[in-house]
Amino acid sequence: MARIIVLGGAGEMGSAAVADLAERTSHELVVGDVREVVDVEWRPVDVEDAAGLRQAIRGFDVVVNATYMRQNVGVTRAAIDVGAALVDLGSYWPETLQQLEMHDDAVASGARIVPGCGVAPGLSNVLARHGADRLDRVDAVRIYSYITHPMYTSPGIVITRFDASVGTSLELVDGRIVERPSFSGEEEVEFPDPYGRQHVHLVPHPEPVTLRRSFDVRNVVFKVGYPADENRRISVLLELGFDLEQPFTVDGVSVSPRAFAAAYIGSRGIGESEVSANVKRVIVSGSRAGEHAELVYDFAVEHAGASASSRITGTFAAICADLLSAGAARPGVQPPEEAFDPPQVLAALEERGLPVTVSGD
């Protein structure tokens, strides 16, 4: 049994992690959040208070960071400083690179840091590694995601949609990292029934950076798609500048367009009967025994009344935290495809009624 603290455990994804750990393990659980919870031990923790954060997580075996991704680098530094094991829900590639650069410090402190333990990055990485381990040579990994819950599901989803749609995304092309504009590179991808053929585009995910650290591969791409009306909402809001942080003044009050959009749009929420889906397709191509081979991994989860992404992201983080508590991963900073045994992860998902389908075997 381990002592585990879930930072942001009162939120959608954090509460899913807490629920899974409480139901399936005997670990001692504590929620660290600025919001109080009543069904599990709670202590107030503000992750933006660096000194208070270090004090709060000191003495825990595993830290689950389920706060906003902008906090991931700071929480990683705090976990290294106190020598704790850590999983988080993932960042985009610039923040992930900052975390990987802390590897030597983590080795020195004995901290085991596994960033990117959500559904993507996270599960997508582990599936790619599972496929790579079954081929003699890996030429390409293509990761595609289709997400149906709208941005008005929650304030956090608004911020996530903005961050995923601006700036620079990466592809690994013939062994070179290539920069491309986010929200570009549109293509059509066939997902399993009932989701069908969907448009996807580039987002600033870290898989093109991390996967080539774990196995020899020369081509990696990650793309995501949303329903057409969601793409329209994102495009209009970006065109009008609602993703910008710089405040302006309204009737003497300073307002950030981004903060306003998150609070106002995200306050709508979705109905209790509204079903959302998070769908993943991971294609690993290469050769085996001298012949071309391609493995296709399909995974889908649906959820009513909240985002399916929250459910699976929190659940996967809980699986990773449990594996860390059992001694998985070595000291340092390593992505999940290096830290965890893919068959063990797939078995844990199967136990939860969340199977992954593999074809082309």
- Contact of 52 with 34, CB cutoff 8 Å: no
State the CB neighbour count (10 A cutoff) for residue 358. Answer: 17
CATH says 123-308 is which class? alpha beta
Residues 127-139 pLDDT 10s = 999 999 999 999 9
Residues above pLDDT 70, as percent of the chain? 100
pLDDT band at 270 (very low <50, low <70, confident <90, very high): confident
Residues 347-356 pLDDT 10s = 999 999 999 9
Residue 310: predicted pLDDT: 86
3-118+310-356 CATH, one of 3.40.30.10, 3.40.50.720, 3.30.420.130, 2.60.40.1180: 3.40.50.720
pLDDT band at 306 (very low <50, low <70, confident <90, very high): confident
* Model confidence at 361: pLDDT above 80: no
Q: Where are the domains of the chain?
A: 3-118+310-356, 123-308
